Amino acid sequence: MGQITKIEIITRPEKLNELKEAMYAIRVTGMTVMQVYGCGLSHGYTEVYRGQEMMINLLPKIKVEIVVSEIPVETVVEAAKKACQTGHIGDGKIFISSVDDAVRIRTGESGVDAIRDRRDEEEIVNSIIKQ
């Protein structure tokens, strides 16, 4: 069985559109996006309510999960890095892990076939990338 790999990208919410476009450019159209909070090296900030000061150093981030089998992992990671990098603290992290198995619920396919684009659905993928 071929290798299935998950790439988790935790980065700034405002980078989401750029990241999506970068993924479309390498023919990755499937992804899961979560709203998360994260901290690393960033300083928090203070809010004040009737004199009561509140500290927050957990900042809103997005976590994008992408699973690939045919498309090389390096391609995905390079594209994501390029899209999300600003050079400032808070750019985030990318985690790569292997997936034991996968299933496409619609067709029941499993393994690598569940992840890679089906030949007969190439047109649909092309239309999504063009939009």
Partner 1 sequence: MEKNKRGYRIGLLAGLLSVLLVLPAMAADETIAVDTGDTAFVLVSAALVMWMTPGLALFYGGMVRGKNVLNTIMQSFFIICFVSVLWILVGYSLAFGPDHGGLIGGLDWIGFSGVGLEPNPDYSKTVPALAFAAFQMMFAVITPALITGAFAERMKFGAFVVFTILWSLLVYAPAAHWVWGLGGWLHELGCLDFAGGTCIHILSGVSGLTVCLYMGTRRGYGKEAMIPHNMPMTVLGAAMLWFGWFGFNAGSALGANGLAANAFVATQVAAAAAAVSWVAVEAVVHDKPTVLGGVSGAVAGLVAITPGAGFVAPFPAVIIGAVAGIVCFFAVAVVKKKFGYDDSLDAFGVHGVGGFWGALATGVFATTAVNPDGADGLLLGNPSQFFIQACGAVSCAVFAVIMTYVILRVVDATIGVRVSADNEVTGLDVTEHGERGYVSMDSFSAMNMFTPVAQHAEKAKELQYDIH
Per CB under 8 A, 47 contacts partner 1 = yes
As a whole number of angstroms, the distance between CA 11 and CA 19 comes to: 10
Q: Which residue, 46 or 127, has its beta carbon nearer to partner 1?
A: 46
Assess contact for 128 and 23: CB atoms under 8 A.
no
What is the separation of C-alpha 98 from the centre of its chain, rounded to a whole number of angstroms? 15
Question: Rounded to the nearest whole angstrom, what is the least distance from the CB of residue 46 to partner 1 in the complex?
Answer: 7
> Residue 13: which region, alpha, beta or left (left: phi > 0; alpha: psi -120 to 50)?
alpha
Binding range to partner 1, per CB under 8 A, among 52-60, 69-77, 98-106, 121-129: 52-60
As a whole number of angstroms, the distance between CA 11 and CA 31 comes to: 14
Question: Rounded to the nearest whole angstrom, what is the least distance from the CB of residue 35 to partner 1 in the complex?
Answer: 10
- Interface pick for partner 1 out of 46, 97, 127, 131 (rule CB under 8 A): 46
As a whole number of angstroms, the distance between CA 43 and CA 84 comes to: 20
- Interface pick for partner 1 out of 25, 58, 124, 128 (rule CB under 8 A): 58
Question: Rounded to the nearest whole angstrom, what is the least distance from the CB of residue 51 to partner 1 in the complex?
Answer: 2
Per CB under 8 A, 53 contacts partner 1 = yes
